[in-house]
Amino acid sequence: MGEQQHVRFPQEVVDEYAALGVDLPALFSAGHLGDRMGVQILEASAEKVVGTMPVEGNTQPYGLLHGGASAVLAETLGSVGAMLHGGSSKMAVGVDLNCTHHRGARSGLVTGVATPLHRGRSTATYEIVISDEEGRRVCSARLTCMLRDVSPGDGAAA
């Protein structure tokens, strides 16, 4: 879990961050929470971020995918897109997350796809669609991130 070896980044983004000494797969790994939940980012650009998460280990007492787990996947994917949009001089900070849960999932993997609704100078908003292995929509989410200038000590480029 947490291995990000399959992430595909646009070459210009890889070059931009490499020039700063930043390891993109580590930067966009979903962090410790994502590791514990099994989040895997498969594809990442400002235009589209794709990731998966297992249902097993992320369920509520009825055995269904926990709504909070869907929220973690949605915020992770949308934040990655917003940060890639903002570039290496910006830090994406989530300020609003809305999730609508359409159906339950009991097993397998869910896949989230984040696409931009708005990409501005100070905010970015992404729609995230989470589907089960049969392609049925499990959750629709919307995330808005504030794009802050990176300051020394922020840890954004660590």
The answer to whether 145 touches 124, Cβ cutoff 8 Å, is yes
Q: 78 is written with which tokens?
A: 């949308």
- Write the DSSP assignment of 70-119 as a string of letters: HHHHHHHHHHHHHHHHH-TTEEEEEEEEEEEE-S---SSEEEEEEEEEEE
Active-site residue list: 75
Rounded to whole angstroms, how far apart are CA atoms 23 and 121? Answer: 24
The answer to whether 5 and 41 are in contact (CB under 8 A) is no
* ∠ CA 153-43-147, rounded to 5°: 35
Q: Which residue has the tokens 């609003």?
A: 96
